[in-house]
Amino acid sequence: MKGNHLTFRNDVRSFFTNPEKSDKMEIFESPAEKRRRRIEQRIFYRANDPMQFDGAENWMGVKSVFAVRRIVTTKHGTTDETCYYISSLDSSPQILLNTVRDHWKIESMHWLLDVVFSEDAHVTSSENAHKTLNILRKFALLLHKTYIQEHKLKISLKNSMLDCLMDDVLILNLCS
């Protein structure tokens, strides 16, 4: 949920942060995951009645109103973040958590396309050119991510791409 429906979002946030409402929600805690020197814990909260919120009637087909709290611990410290969601799915907590994670995989790719290629700033006059450039950018990301992972390099995608621009041999190694 974003801030463009502020009343609805604030109502949802106050519901999930009110300890007295815990009997009106389902709570599920996923097992802690340890990856890349970080430990991530997710706690899922779902309202038993998604239509109880002011503004829920404006969302046709809403079946779930839920929150995901992420507690991430790294060598730099611990962060604690809660995000709020609405969905037309009425599924188990595990499925909704996987849906949220899959969504963020897509969002992170779009973020990379914008940061690395400044995709949002590019304007093309042809729809075909736009689609072709998008495919080529995604292919370049795939090549670099695969190369970095296979060679266990500690380098950003942007720096990997810059290194390839400066070294013809490196770009040939990347493509082989």
What are the beta bridge partners of residue 149?
none
For residue 4, tell me if it sits in a domain. yes
User: pLDDT value at position 117?
Assistant: 82
For residue 65, tell me if it sits in a domain. yes
Residue 5 has pLDDT above 90, yes or no: no
User: H-type helices in the chain, by residue range?
Assistant: 6-17, 93-117, 127-150, 157-166, 168-175
Q: Poorest-confidence range of 57-71, 78-92, 113-127?
A: 113-127
pTM (global) more than 0.85: no
More confident residue, 111 or 27: 27
For residue 21, tell me if it sits in a domain. yes
User: pLDDT value at position 72?
Assistant: 94
Residue 82 has pLDDT above 90, yes or no: yes
Find the domain containing 82 and state its range. Answer: 1-91
For residue 163, tell me if it sits in a domain. no
For residue 167, tell me if it sits in a domain. no
Q: Report the first-to-last Cα separation within the chain, whole angstroms.
A: 43
For residue 160, tell me if it sits in a domain. no
User: pLDDT value at position 47?
Assistant: 93
Instruction: Report the domain count for the chain.
Output: 1
56 CB contacts (<8 Å, ≥6 apart)? 8, 50, 62, 65, 86
Q: How far apart are CA 73 and CA 79, in angstroms?
A: 7
For residue 58, tell me if it sits in a domain. yes
